Amino acid sequence: MLVIPAIDLKDGQAVRLFKGDYQQKTVYSDHPEELAQTFEEAGAKFLHVVDLDGAKDGQAKNLETIKKIRKQTSMKIELGGGIRDLKTVQLYLEEVGIDRVILGTAALEDPEFLKTALKRYGSEKIVVGVDVKNGFVSTAGWLETSQTPYLEFIQFLEKIGVQYIVATDISKDGTLMGPNFDMYDQIAKTSSIQFVVSGGIKDFDNIKKVAEKGYYACIVGKAYYEKKVDLKETIQCLQNV
């Protein structure tokens, strides 16, 4: 199982939001690229980066900071937030050197764009973020909620060739309350898609449970920043489980 540390960017800083609320943020670093180095030194193979400003506004707002992170680490990077057209996909994958991009709002609202991106870049580089609020898919940096049930959306994604998703229960994100394992069990029962558990991880036992269930990966964010998880120790124990 992959243990993937997360860096959420807002105004060039590494922050964490509480349940996706832009008004409830905690700043953890003014130099996110240095955080990335720390994660790599701990043994992480993949880094999860989200442009929160981009997610809200649909533009590459933290591009310069993302470039710095890319230059400072040899980890593979998955990046989400505001990627809503092929020009931005091309920018990140071909020019910046991001390993895979996460499409969220655009994947739901413009499925033809998603299909085109998949055809051009392949399912290893095009990941979909499935952000769930009260059972429905959320968009626009979690500020809007659609009428699409998350399981229905995931089944559609699998049908068109998506192999990887990042699934987040927004009500758990940044809370240190533990993931919504009921939601992930439902995904596993109804789909063979590979998913990243995102939101709510509070301690090593949570991460171990994800590994024991045989899920593809989990994201560790606030639990690391609040020193609830020793990333190096966790990766040594679970990275290859």
CB 39 within 8 A of CB 232: no
Indicate if 173 belongs to the active site.
Answer: no
CB 185 within 8 A of CB 151: no
Q: Which distant-in-sequence residues (6+ apart) come within 8 Å of 81 by Cβ?
A: 9, 50, 51, 52, 53, 54, 55, 62, 102, 104, 141
Task: Report the C-alpha gap between 22 and 10 in whole angstroms.
Answer: 9
The token pair at 107 is: 């994947």
Apex 84 CA angle, 163 and 141, nearest 5: 90
Residue 47 β-bridge partners: 77
What is the Cα Rg of the chain in Å? 16
Instruction: Exactly one of 53, 131, 169, 173 is catalytic; name it.
Output: 131
How far does CA 202 lie from the centroid of its chain?
A: 16
Indicate if 131 belongs to the active site.
Answer: yes
Instruction: Based on DSSP, count helices (H) and strands (E) in the chain, helices before strands.
Output: 11, 12
Task: Report the C-alpha gap between 138 and 117 in whole angstroms.
Answer: 21
Instruction: Exactly one of 8, 51, 53, 173 is catalytic; name it.
Output: 8
Q: Which positions are catalytic?
A: 8, 131
